[in-house]
Structure 1
Amino acid sequence: MSAMTTAKKPRGPYAAADAMRRAILVAATDVFAESGYRAGSIKTIAERVGITDAGVLHHFGNKSALLAAVLEWRDERISPLLPEPGDSGIATFAGLLRVAEYIPTEPGIARLHCTLLAESTDPSHPAHDFFVERYDRTRGELLHAFHQAAGEGHLKAGVAPELAAAATLALMDGLQLQWLLHPDAVNIRETLAGHFLALVDMPDMPQMA
């Protein structure tokens, strides 16, 4: 018999509480994506779940804590697609293409990102620090990936890693916004793959397109 044990799923009231938390997160994601954090109300979220305002606050404490939980839940759904720390530059780009392929299957995630990102340019917004840290970290990871590609001899001549990292980050955000406005006119994954192919010279890169 294997020494490994299967993690037990919550049962009884614990399972019910987990299911309710998930239902609240789904509703909050939709409400914040549609109306933003400030205009999206606990009352609207509660109505969509079919509980009282107090019921929402029982599980998450306050509105800003609910927002933090929504952002964490969003990350949990995307993180398995991302490259592992220490992966090659090419592996990093491939991971971002997996995210680009996933986004159209969950339009609420893209809408949430774009709505909260615009709101959080205000330093008083509860998600401001989250997005500042996220952009600093992602830009650093992209910079490292492009430097790795350069060290492996794959970065095309004349491409500056610093500019490539900033342009990639801007492109990813812009593509999500364009896709939300006109889904039939924009293919997020193909456009991002073309961007990488223009910057990185590697024999197996066409497989990413």
Structure 2
Amino acid sequence: MTREAGAGRVRRPPAERRAEILRIAMETFAERGYQSASLAEIASRVGLTQAGVLHYFSSKAGLLTGVLDLRDSTDISELGHERPRGLAFLRHLVDTVRRNAGREGIVRLYTVLAAESVTAGHPAQEWFRGRYAGLLDLVVEALDDAAAQGEIPADVDAATTARVIVATMDGLQLQWLLAPGSVDMAEATEVAIVRLIGRDLPPSSDR
């Protein structure tokens, strides 16, 4: 069987090897943050040289982009072909929070990198700016749809309410990571949204 030079490992198809590098990088960035995690450490955990990792990703920043794109694709796939509208989208947010309680690694990665991204020159800063802007737009659109359909009062301040919802979700993730048994993220998120809009959310399709 052909083995990778110097690694003593069975050669794997490029797609499989790339996926393994992304998985290990995701775990390492979540544990140590982008700044503290080194390419050498990631390569060692994968069982490759740094040059071997750079064969698949052009740089450490490129590897980070791959990790973030992978995380993003998970959220996009959960939306399905038809994005829910109005209150159904807010229910989708709560359901996503509930699913996140079963994938601590992704939650930790997002929380650690989001906090780091506010530092000057961080390679994920623009990604997070775009991520927040896009998420806020989606929540504002859902609130506007809900108001137009008569699901919530027409005088709800969609822009401010959207920011409070997103901030609540992020804050709850941090509390959950520090003390997992202390908070039910999904329940708390739903309570906050209901209090903000003055209406119950539709039943969850996950139950």
Common fold: TM-score over 0.5: yes
The answer to whether structure 1 residue 168 and structure 2 residue 165 are counterparts is: yes
Query: 109, 126, 131: which one pairs with 1:129?
Result: 126
Name the structure where helix makes up a greater proportion of residues. 1
CA distance in 2, matches of 1:141, 1:85: 13
Shift in CA distance, 178/84, structure 1 to aligned 2, threshold 3 Å: farther
CA distance in 1, matches of 2:172, 2:79: 18
Cα RMSD of the aligned pairs, angstroms, is 2.4
> Which consecutive unaligned segments of at least 5 residues does structure 1 have?
1-12
Shift in CA distance, 203/93, structure 1 to aligned 2, threshold 3 Å: closer
The aligned residue for residue 177 of structure 2 is 180
Shift in CA distance, 32/52, structure 1 to aligned 2, threshold 3 Å: same
Shift in CA distance, 190/204, structure 1 to aligned 2, threshold 3 Å: closer
Shift in CA distance, 204/28, structure 1 to aligned 2, threshold 3 Å: closer
Comparing 190-199 with 136-145, greater Cα deviation is found at: 190-199
Contact 1:103 1:110 in 2 (8 A): yes
Task: Give the CA deviation at 1:98.
Answer: 2.3
The answer to whether structure 1 residue 195 and structure 2 residue 192 are counterparts is: yes
> Which consecutive unaligned segments of at least 5 residues does structure 2 have?
1-9
Q: How many residues align?
A: 197
* 3-state SS of paired residue (1:88): coil
The aligned residue for residue 26 of structure 2 is 29
Task: Give the CA deviation at 1:189.
Answer: 1.0
Q: How does 1:130-169 map to 2 (within 5 A)?
A: 130-156=127-153, 159-169=156-166
The answer to whether structure 1 residue 67 and structure 2 residue 76 are counterparts is: no
Contact 2:91 2:201 in 1 (8 A): no
CA distance in 2, matches of 1:50, 1:129: 31
Task: Give the CA deviation at 1:91.
Answer: 2.0
Which letter does structure 2 place at the counterpart of 1:47?
S
Percentage identity across paired residues of the two chains: 36
Task: Give the CA deviation at 1:78.
Answer: 2.0
Task: Give the CA deviation at 1:92.
Answer: 1.1
The aligned residue for residue 10 of structure 1 is none
The answer to whether structure 1 residue 78 and structure 2 residue 75 are counterparts is: yes
CA distance in 1, matches of 2:60, 2:15: 18
Shift in CA distance, 43/15, structure 1 to aligned 2, threshold 3 Å: closer
TM-score, structure 1 normalization: 0.85
TM-score, structure 2 normalization: 0.86
Return the structure number with greater relative CO, CA threshold 8 A, min gap 6: 2
Contact 2:194 2:200 in 1 (8 A): no
